[in-house]
Amino acid sequence: MITKWALAFGGLAGIVLVYRNWLHVNMATVALTLLLFILVLAARWGLRYAVVISIASTACYNFYFLPPVGTFTISDTENWLALLAFLTTAIIASRLSQAARNEANEASARQRELEMLFRLSRDLLQTESVASLLRSLPSAVVDVTAGRYGMLYLMEGQRAYEAGTHVVSKVELPHFHQLASTLSTASLEAEELLIPIRSGVRPKGLFLLRGVNLSVETANAIGGLISIAIDRAQALENVARGEAAKESERLRTLMIDSITHELRTPLTSIKGAATTLLASELGAEDRHELLSIIDEESDRLNRLVSEAVEMAQLDAQQVQIQFEIVAASKLITAARENCSWVEEKHSIVMEMQEELRLNVDPSLIEKVITNLLENAGKYSREGTQIKVTAEKQGEYVAISVADRGIGIDPAEQGLIFERFYRGRFNATGAPGTGMGLAISRAIVEAHGGRISVVSQPGQGSVFTVILPGAGPLES
C-alpha cells in the first residue's frame, strides 16, 4: 500500500523532472504524458490513486509549466481553462478505466464461480451411496470453494456432517434446525455463509460455510447442487433396494417351487411302499425291500430338507463365517474321514508341494471338500483314482479334486452349480439332491473365493476351489 503510493508520487516527480530539466517540449505534450500516467494508475491500482495523483499533477503542471512558472498563480484565463480541462479529463478517464476494471474483475470472479460449480457438480454426482455422499460432501464443498470450514446439517434425523476443525455439539443442533426451517435464500453474516438446502419448496437442511467470498447466486446454486446430489443418491439406492427385494422374492418362490417338487418324489415312494406293506401279505424278502425303500427315501427327504434350510440361511446371509487360520491338509483329511465310503471304492491321492494355510471357516470348507469328494466318488467307476491337490495362487490357495469319472457335458457345466440341478446325461443313478454344488458355491463365495469346474465327458472332471490363504505355516 505505502509502496504503491510512493511509486505513484515517484512516477509523477520523475515525469516533472524529465520535462523540466532535460526534455524541453510544449505544454500540451506534458499534459498528455501526465494524463497517460493517470490512466495507467486508474487501470492498474484503481480510482483512489488516480484521483489523488490527478490533483497532485494539476498542482505540479500549474507550478512548473504554466506561466508564470514557479508560482501557483495563473495569469492567462486561457491557461485556467486548460488546467480545468486537464483535471476534468483526468478524473473522468480514471473513472471510466476503473469501471472497466471492475467489470473485468467481476467477469473473472463469475467465471471462477462457474468453474467451481461445475467441478462441484462433477464431484457430487459421482457418488451413488447416500452414506458416502453425506460423509464426503462437506469436504468437497470446502475444497472447491477454498473455504475454511463446512458443515452440512440435515433436518431428518438432526444429523451434522463436518469438514474442518469446528466440532458441532448436540446443543447447537436445535438452533440449526430452526435456521434450516426458516432460511429461504443464502445469507452472509459475520464471515459465515448459510445456504438453505431444499427439496422443491420443502426445507431439508442447511450448509454452513466459513472463510469464503461468494456471491449469493453462487451460494444458492451450491445449495441446489447439494440437494440434487442427495436426492439422486437416495433415488438410486431406492431402485437398488427394490431390485434386491425383487430378486430375493424371486429366489424364495423358486426355492419353494423346487422344494415342493423335490419332496414329492421321495414322499410318493414312501407312501407307495407303506400302502403296499399295509395292504398285502408279503414275504419277508419283499417286506424288507419295501422297508429299505422307506428307509432310503426318508434319508433323502431328511437330507433335502436340511440342505434347503442351509441354502436358505446362506441366501439370507444368516450363516456367520468364523474365520480361522487352518492347515489345508487338516481340512482335506477331515473331509476324507467324513466320506469313508469313497475311500473304500477309490484310491485317493493327495498332492501338495508344501503345507499351506487357509484363512477360512473350517467347518464350512470341510463341508465343501466333502461334497466334492462324494461327487467324485458318485460319478466315477469303482476302482478309479481321485486326486486332491492344493497349491498356492498368490494370496490364495487352490484346492482341486480330480476324478476319472463320467465327466460333465459342456452344456451342463454352467448349470450344475444351480440349486436342485441334477445332471441329465448321467446314467449312474447316484443318489443326490442337486443342492451340494449350490451350497458349496454359496459357501466359497461368502469367503470371497471361487469355485469352478473343468471337465470332459468320458474322461473326468476337476473341481477347483480358490480360497483366501494365510501365508506359510511357521515352523
- Rounded Cα distance, 212 and 224, in Å: 18
Total residues binding ligand ADP (CB under 6 A): 22
| Interaction between residue 416 and ligand ADP (CB under 6 A) | yes
Of 266, 436, 449, 469, the one binding ligand ADP (CB under 6 A) is 436
Of 358, 376, 399, 465, the one binding ligand ADP (CB under 6 A) is 376
Of 304, 433, 444, 464, the one binding ligand ADP (CB under 6 A) is 433
Of 58, 94, 98, 375, the one binding ligand ADP (CB under 6 A) is 375
- How many alpha carbons fall within 13 Å on the CB side of residue 382? 4
CA–CA distance from 439 to each of 13, 69, 260, 271, 322 (Å)?
Answer: 94, 109, 18, 29, 17
Cβ 455 to ligand ADP shortest distance, Å: 7
- Rounded Cα distance, 401 and 462, in Å: 6
Write out the three cell numbers for 325: 487360520
Cβ 457 to ligand ADP shortest distance, Å: 9
Cβ 370 to ligand ADP shortest distance, Å: 11
| Interaction between residue 138 and ligand ADP (CB under 6 A) | no
- Rounded Cα distance, 160 and 259, in Å: 49
Number of residues in the chain:
475
Of 203, 205, 266, 405, the one binding ligand ADP (CB under 6 A) is 405
Of 437, 451, 466, 470, the one binding ligand ADP (CB under 6 A) is 437
Nearest residue (CB) to ligand ADP, 65 versus 379: 379
Cβ 336 to ligand ADP shortest distance, Å: 16
Which helix (H) or strand (E) covers residue 134, if one does?
helix 130-145
- Which candidate, 115, 162, 191, 431, places its Cα nearest to that of 304? 431
Cβ 380 to ligand ADP shortest distance, Å: 7
Nearest residue (CB) to ligand ADP, 223 versus 407: 407
| Interaction between residue 310 and ligand ADP (CB under 6 A) | no
Query: How many other C-beta atoms can be found within 10 angstroms of the C-beta atom of residue 391?
Result: 16
| Interaction between residue 62 and ligand ADP (CB under 6 A) | no
Beta strands at 385-393 and 396-403: parallel, antiparallel or unpaired:
antiparallel
| Interaction between residue 386 and ligand ADP (CB under 6 A) | no
| Interaction between residue 258 and ligand ADP (CB under 6 A) | no
Cβ 221 to ligand ADP shortest distance, Å: 58
- Which candidate, 147, 205, 138, places its Cα nearest to that of 173? 205
383: left (phi over 0), alpha (psi -120 to 50) or beta: left
Write out the three cell numbers for 199: 427439496
Nearest residue (CB) to ligand ADP, 180 versus 408: 408
| Interaction between residue 426 and ligand ADP (CB under 6 A) | yes
Write out the three cell numbers for 448: 470371497
Of 403, 443, 444, 449, the one binding ligand ADP (CB under 6 A) is 403
| Interaction between residue 266 and ligand ADP (CB under 6 A) | no
Cβ 421 to ligand ADP shortest distance, Å: 6
364 within 8 A of 331, measured Cβ to Cβ: no
| Interaction between residue 449 and ligand ADP (CB under 6 A) | no
| Interaction between residue 408 and ligand ADP (CB under 6 A) | yes
| Contact set with ligand ADP (CB under 6 A) | 371, 375-376, 379, 403, 405-408, 416, 421-423, 426, 432-438, 461
